Every structure is written in C-alpha cells, then in structure tokens.
Amino acid sequence: MLQTATRAIYDEDLGLFRDQVRKFYAVHLTPHLDRWEEEGLVDRAFWLACGEAGVLCPQVPAEYGGLGLDYRYNAVIGEELSYAGSTAGITLQSDIVVDYLINYGSEEQKRKWLPGMVSGHVITAIAMTEPGAGSDLQGIRTTAIRDGNHYVVSGSKTYITNGQNADLVFVVAKTDPAAGSKGISLVLVETDRAGFKRGRNLDKIGQNSADTSELFFEEVRIPITNCLGEEGRGFAYLMNQLPQERLQIAIAGQAGAQRAFDEAVKFTKERKAFKQAIFDFQNTRFTLGALKAKLQAGWAHLDWCMARHLKGELTAAEASAAKLFHTELQWEVCDAALQLHGGAGYMNDYPIARLWRDARVQRIYGGTSEIMKEVVARSI
C-alpha cells in the first residue's frame, strides 16, 4: 500500500478519496487483471464501474457531469492504478484526452461528449503516432481536407491506446499539408463513421491488457464542426498539453517503482537461502537501501512537480525532466527487484514479472528518454 502520510501535497479529503479508490480497485480491478492480460482488453463494464465510482475524469466541471476537482485527484487515481499493477487506459482518458475537450472544445462538443467520458459510456483515444512518425509530430501524413461543410480524413495511425474500445478518436491530422506545424489540426472522428476501420490489437511485450491498435481512415467524412478548437492550431494545443501528459507518465512510473520495491522487500524477507532470509545478505540490504533513498527523493520531486502544475507553472522542460527521471527510476527498480527474486522473478506467477514487462515502454511513449534529454538540454 502506498504510504502518503508525509506527503504535504495531499490533505484529509484526498486521503478519503484514495481509500475509496483502493477499495474500488480491490473489487473491480485486481480480480480481473489476469483475465484482461490474457484477453488483451479491459472490459467495458470496468469503464462503466469507474464512471459510477467517480474514477473517470474528476476534473470535468459539474455542468458537464463531472466533479470539478483539481489534478491531485487524477494523481491519486493514477498512482493507485499503477501500484495495483494495471495499465488500463482510464488515465489516458482522464489525464490526457479529456483536457483537450475541456480547454479547446466548443460548447456543443463539451455537452455532447464530456458527460459520457465521465460516466464511462464514451471511451476515447488520441491518435498521434503513425507508422512513419513518432516523436516528430510534424512528420505525420494523415490529412483532413475540407470538402464543403465536411473534412475528408485519410491516413493511418498505430500504437493507439484504447483503439479497440474507443467510441471517439481525437485525430492529429494535417488540414493544410503545405503549412508545416501551422497546418496541423485536431479533429474528432466517431468510430461508427463509414471508412473508419480498426486494425489488429497489437501483440506487445507488456501492458497486454491495455489494448493498443492500428487505426485506418479511408476517406472518412466528418462535419467541420468536429474540428477541435481552431483549424491549424492543433500542434500548439498538443504542445500546451504535453506537461500534464508527461507528468501523468511520471506518476505512473513512480508508483510502479514503489510497487516493485515493495514486492522485492516482501519476497526477500520470506525467501531463505543458506539458512537465512535473502533480505539479511548485505548485497540485498545495500541494494534495497539505495533504491529506497532514490524512491524517497522521487516522491518529493513528484510532489514538487504537482504543486507547480496546480499553479500552472510546470514548464515543458520540468515535465520532461520528470518523465525522464521517474520512468528511468521505474526501470531501475523493477530490474533490480526482479534480480532479487532470482529465478522466481522470471515466472509469471509473481507480480514482479508483469511489473518489469510493463515498465519498459514507459521510457518510450510520451516522448523517449532521449527526446526528454534533448528537451531538458534546450532549457539550459
């Protein structure tokens, strides 16, 4: 269980909320983890249960069916989800996608989509990455070309979280292919429109229960009112939202690292070798002691980032540094924890195996560690 007593960023109300989230996950999440891993998909029933429990999009204003809470509540949901060992796509919807609609959507778009995103009846995805364009979003080829009162969307996307379940996809497309970054827009594509096709649920190394898909747009016609915000401002919107996206990944990284550490402590205290607990060997104690020091620093840094974000002061470079630090720490802790499990760590019977597998991609999506270093370096 995550220890939060010394974290000044949280108060009594958030403590009560955390208890509710933990109890909810214990009933609706943990018992289904293994089945979801095998099936490669989280049940839509889980999304509906999340909506009923207030675990989806807590920052959505009350007039659209939300709770109107600050980002700390999102952080609680994300921390507990990662600590539970789940990669369900609810944080993508709550921490990344929904704020595009809150910040840039029209009143009509907000009233149409936000209540369903809060209740779990509408599952969303955001489609950025393409087969030939990853971190460099200016290299995308998907287009949304005007034709009268419609856009015609053509292209393909890949590695899209929630792709199999999504009812609505926020698509990054070029509305003016000749204008570079100023020709990129965000358009909303309902997945029941003619010409939209889902590809296969991609076979990944880890995060198997988080459906990740190829999506195809074959001259999909959408009304021009499906443009999110201003045409040509999509790239700017994406840059504006990156700090929160990278903070969310950092939160998952830190909580995942803590879970891996706790699993290692539990295992080494219970497992014996040469007539003593593995924990009592100096190598084990030194390894765990060093990791605990880094985790202590990590939690303090994460809370500093959240405090900055709540005031609207977290910069792109600071958020990038957070993603870099916490995801690299997650990998270090998970790998060390697996090593301390010995051969048992390589067995799927033990939680550390899944934690280790799921951690690897954290250093890639949302901007690779190498890109994060470049962003931080540019601020020096």
**303 and 213 together in one domain:** no
Q: Are residues 218 and 328 in the same domain?
A: no
SS3 1: coil
Average pLDDT over residues 103-120: 98
Same domain, 52 and 90: yes
CATH number for the domain that contains residue 28: 1.10.540.10
Last residue of a domain, one of 184, 204, 231: 231
Domain-ending residue, one of 231, 261, 285 = 231
For the cut 80, the answer to whether the pLDDT of residue 216 exceeds it is yes
* CATH code at position 252: 1.20.140.10
Q: What is the mean pLDDT of the chain?
A: 96
Please write the tens of the pLDDT for every residue from 234-276: 999 999 999 999 999 999 999 999 999 999 999 999 999 898 9
CA 29 to chain centre: 17
Domain encompassing residue 357: 235-378
Choosing from 79, 130, 245, 318, the catalytic residue is 245
Say yes or no: 133 and 46 in one domain. no
Tell how strand 143-147 and strand 196-201 pair up: unpaired
Supply the CATH number for residue 148's domain. 2.40.110.10
Rounding to the nearest 10 degrees, give the CA dihedral for residues 366, 371, 375, 376. 100
Residues 198 and 315 in one domain: no
Distance between CA atoms of residues 236 and 233, nearest Å: 5
* 263 included as an active-site residue: no
Q: How many domains, in total, are found in the chain? A: 3
Q: What is the mean pLDDT of residues 137-166?
A: 94
Regarding whether 201 and 148 lie in a shared domain, the answer is: yes
Helices (H), 311-359: 316-341, 351-359
Residue 3 lies in a domain: no
61 part of a folded domain: yes
Higher per-residue pLDDT: 275 or 114? 114
Verify that 219 and 132 share a domain, yes or no: yes
Q: DSSP 3-state assignment of 63? A: helix
Please check whether residues 169 and 79 belong to one and the same domain. no
Whether residue 324 sits in one domain with residue 250: yes
Q: What percent of the chain has pLDDT over 90?
A: 94
* Residue range 334-374, pLDDT digits in tens: 999 999 999 999 999 999 999 999 999 999 999 999 999 99
- Per residue in 117-134, pLDDT tens? 999 999 999 999 998 876
